[in-house]
Structure 1
């Protein structure tokens, strides 16, 4: 070997040694940052946090709040519940940006219902992510974040009502129940929030059938009312004439599947412990709910493109503004309902702690 070759080899070796001293990603993270604890089995968490037929993958309670935030990147039995709705938000925003750019969308009275539908969709997705990400901290957090989740569902229901009424309803349908539709949508939206909050605070695990009834009856009535202009249109208008109708049909199918998997713990009921991380019915429910919202946005944009120049003529600017003012009013009523129920739950939890001392 020549001296020149040996010198080059020595230089290369020193370079490799220096590369080995470069900081890795873990060195860049502050050592004071808490790390989520390993997941535990169902019998290692209080009964409030246990889900039927889900035997493992639970996050231990009473950790630092940052541990639950960082558990976003941890594998646990809520991971897919979080990510299905977390990814749906950016997808909706991308579709909004694409459709708004194509239509030359401007924020005016005619576009307010569509904008509020989009806002309501992002609200329910964000509150759902917060509930599934942070509820494991404590019993108090569990109730609070799921009450907020119910607020998001109610607001989303009313956002759907606004979009369906102003962009997708037919004159014959409006002549029959049109005057009662938006007040009914607001009322049953609030009742769905109140019913879910009551059921959550009233019943303890293992939950009886009455809990599902309290949740599903007002929510189902709200959905039937909200979707009625769409069903009427699907049955009376030729699908070949309306580009939005196939997307409306897809959103209905998606929501029906979502309702089925929300109501039934399938497939984990038949395979206890096999769906702890992937495949739970609630995860499938989240997936179909997100898909339904995406299809709904696509359909409403097509309806808006067809009717945006006639909305003011059909409904009048005053009705549009009043309908949209009712949106934050319903939002505040639902928040107050959730906080009132939370106050009652807090007293119960405090009494429970005092008895255990």
Structure 2
């Protein structure tokens, strides 16, 4: 009979510092797991198991929403739907990349960094997908065709590239060669964790706040007949609440910081961060689709027509640039100067 031998779990003192999670004591997988062991650990309760499943299951829901859009008659040829397609594609990418990152990040130190570089890049692409959809459907009537509106997606592409670069830098830094000592000095996450955390939070918070400017204006500041107050406002508020909770949990590491070791397997901040993030995305999808349907006639008459270059073109050009940045940071993990090799 075929039997599965599940990987042995370790505590925080048995794994290298780069694998440590704040206030998580037990439930670590071996930092040299094989790909097969990583997959088998999905069916074992570790401190990463729920991190994986809380994003793996929603990936299929978001994929179902994307396929439902693609299967609707004429969707390929309707420019009005292209921003929604790009957005739903980004909703599928970010939880899938997160699932893969948490699953395979214990194969080696280098694999851990590369996995989370890809995870951060996917989050940046989700921010861009949101911006493209917001530009098409969310802007209040009085801002449509304004200079800010016309440059909104271009600025979001720039933010995506900065977000990917900053988040990768916060994890690894760049290799700096000191020729006098013939050594490489890095700025690793474990050396200066507070600065690393600040950089990473900034890398994700700034694009979100920029993307949400038209939403915040509609919900909290705008008054008058051209503010686009409609049934979607409640959905936008719920999305904002879950987005705030997601950022709060990511930055504070609560509740495990209050009781280290108590929430190692169930209930720690990263699990809640995943759940609230997915819930925020759900309300965001509902708000976008409601605005898209309720405002269709007005937007087609008064707003700019979405273009391939402003939707798919912007998305995939930013993706290519982000992948190039990730490749540079990944290459730096293996790069050694000739002087250091000769010395060895």
TM-score, normalization by structure 2: 0.86
Match of 1:336 in 2: 324
Q: Tell me which residue corresponds to 1:119.
A: 89
TM-aligned CA deviation for residue 241 of structure 1: 5.4
Bigger shift: 63-72 or 290-299? Answer: 63-72
Is the 8 Å Cα contact of residues 170 and 189 (structure 2) preserved in structure 1?
no
Aligned to 1:185: 156
* Cα 1:49/1:353, change in 2 over 3 Å: farther
Q: Which moved more, 1:252-261 or 1:36-45?
A: 36-45
Match for residue 132 of structure 2?
Answer: 162
Which of 323, 346, 351 is equivalent to 2:310?
A: 323
Q: Which residue of 2 aligns with 1:220?
A: 205
SS of 2:335 mapped into structure 1: helix
Pairing 1:74-85 to 2, within 5 Å after superposition:
74-85=44-55
**Residue in 2 that maps onto 1:259:** 247
CA RMSD of aligned residues (A): 2.9
Alignment of 1:1-357 (within 5 A): 27=1, 29=2, 35-95=5-65, 106-107=75-76, 108-174=78-144, 175=146, 177-202=148-173, 203-205=188-190, 207-235=192-220, 236=222, 242-317=230-305, 319-324=306-311, 325-347=313-335
For the Cα contact (< 8 Å) 1:199–1:211, is it kept in 2? yes
Cα offset, 1:131, TM superposition: 0.5
Structure-1-length-normalised TM-score:
0.83
Question: What CA distance in whole angstroms lies between the structure 2 residues aligned with 1:347 and 1:252?
Answer: 42
The 1:348–1:152 alpha-carbon spacing in structure 2 relative to 1, beyond 3 Å, is farther
Cα 1:118–1:352, aligned 2, differ >3 Å: closer, same or farther? farther
Structure 2: how far apart are the matches of 1:259 and 1:216? 8
- Cα deviation for residue 171 of structure 1 reads 3.2
- Give the distance between the partners of 2:309 and 2:300, measured in 1 at CA: 13
Q: Which has the larger radius of gyration?
A: 1
Deviation >6 Å, runs of 4+: 97-101, 237-240, 351-355
Maintained 8 Å contact 1:150/1:196: yes
Shift of residue 52, structure 1, vs aligned partner: 1.5
Q: Counterparts of 1:316 and 1:223 in 2: how far apart (Å)?
A: 23
Q: Figure out how many residues of one structure are paired with residues of the other and give that number.
A: 324
Deviations 1:200-246 (A, max 9, x none): 01223264321122212232221111011111121336999522221
SS of alignment partner, residue 300 of structure 1? helix
Which digits, 9 at most, give the CA deviation of each residue in 1:278-309, with x for residues without a partner?
11111111111110001101111111112334
Higher helix share: 1
Contact between 1:111 and 1:308, CA under 8 Å: does it hold in 2?
no
Q: Contact 2:249/2:272 (CA < 8 Å) preserved in 1? A: yes
Unaligned runs of 5+ in 1: 1-26
Change (3 A) 1:228 1:195: same
CA contact (8 A) 2:141 2:228 kept: no
Between the aligned partners of 1:38 and 1:58, the Cα distance in structure 2 is 9
1:353/1:133 CA distance change after superposition, 3 Å:
farther
For 2:336 and 2:279, how far apart are their aligned partners in 1?
Answer: 38
